[in-house]
Structure 1
Amino acid sequence: MRASEAGPERMSLSRLLAVAGHVVALRRQRFMGSHGLTPHGLAVLAYLEQGHVPTQRELARRCGVAPSTLNHTVDHLARSGWIERCRDDSDRRLVRLALTESGHRHLRQVQEAADRRIEPLLDHLAPADEAAVRRFLLDTVAQLQEDDADPDDPRS
């Protein structure tokens, strides 16, 4: 049996992590869609909830997509009344994005629904295992972000 045909038990850790991430992402995408959101839409709302008032270009960079791609998401969120576009007071050429009160409520509702629907799927983890998995994922994300930030790193 070739390695590419091996079951999950024989996959490299990085491949297994990618597969697990993909499965979780698909589940979350279906769930978010039932609430009128895409993964990028949820990311935009969550980022804006933190109190930042970014330009659309800054937000696209943080979400890892082209500004033109994010434009469709921002249009949908604005039409839904969850965000608003505001001209920057100091530079009228810039348009900043802000979460509306309706957006705050919708984000809270979606997050609470996700806690009820998605988080229980991980209830099979023992508390000690959950802590270890959380540490591993946080360390992995931090390492990957650090690597992405290093322009001299040939892995980037």
Structure 2
Amino acid sequence: MDSPDADGLLAEQLLRLTRRVHRIQKHHLETRGLGITPAQSRLLRTLAHYGSPPRMADLAERLEVVPRAVTTLVDALEASGKVRRVPDPTNRRVIRIELTEDGGRALRELHSARRAAAEDILAPLTDEQRAVLGGLLDTLVDGTSVPADSASVPAGGADAARGPGRDC
């Protein structure tokens, strides 16, 4: 697909798929009654990847949003008991954000909801198609070109195409 119109069509398809993914994930979140928005879900997932509680500025940087947006998300998650603000042990002026037990439970539910959404979205694809899609998406996410023969199905199947540590 070399023409600008073909590239525009691909871009539109990607945007439509992104919207569909968000709609389906939102539906799965709502049916579980967690009361968590997709943005709050993203913050919880990001928070879980830190070894020690991060500062709000760290979260804002990792989420690529303004600090005020993180404050709003943390306020809502703190009100629902999913996170708490804790003083930094070395600098009492710094506040860090940590996941609570309830937040950990919610995170497990969120993971399950994301898996269910992924199953819904990927249902029409064969294992081979999933593997190829995983490789193509990795290329787009990483922004690097892929050798022509890498579009074939890797020996490990769809999981190998997603690479280590990739999750729905």
Task: Tell me the residue number matched to 2:78.
Answer: 78
Q: 1:116 & 1:77 partners in 2: Cα distance?
A: 23
Q: 1:35 & 1:99 partners in 2: Cα distance?
A: 15
Q: 1:10 & 1:48 partners in 2: Cα distance?
A: 36
Q: 2:109 & 2:119 partners in 1: Cα distance?
A: 15
CA RMSD of superposed structures (Å) = 2.3
1:62 match: secondary structure: helix
Q: 1:142 & 1:35 partners in 2: Cα distance?
A: 32
Q: TM (normalized to structure 2)?
A: 0.71
Q: Which amino acid aligns with 2:38?
A: P
Task: Tell me the residue number matched to 2:147.
Answer: none
Task: Tell me the residue number matched to 1:154.
Answer: none
| Unmatched runs of 5 consecutive residues or more in structure 2 | 145-168
| Unmatched runs of 5 consecutive residues or more in structure 1 | 1-5, 145-156
Q: TM (normalized to structure 1)?
A: 0.76
The one-character-per-residue Cα deviations of 1:12-55 (angstroms, maximum 9, x if unpaired) are 22221122112212332343354211222111111122233211
Task: Tell me the residue number matched to 1:29.
Answer: 26
Q: 2:138 & 2:85 partners in 1: Cα distance?
A: 32
Q: 2:142 & 2:86 partners in 1: Cα distance?
A: 32
* Percent identity for Structure 1 against Structure 2: 28
Q: 2:10 & 2:70 partners in 1: Cα distance?
A: 31
Deviation of 1:96 (Å): 0.9
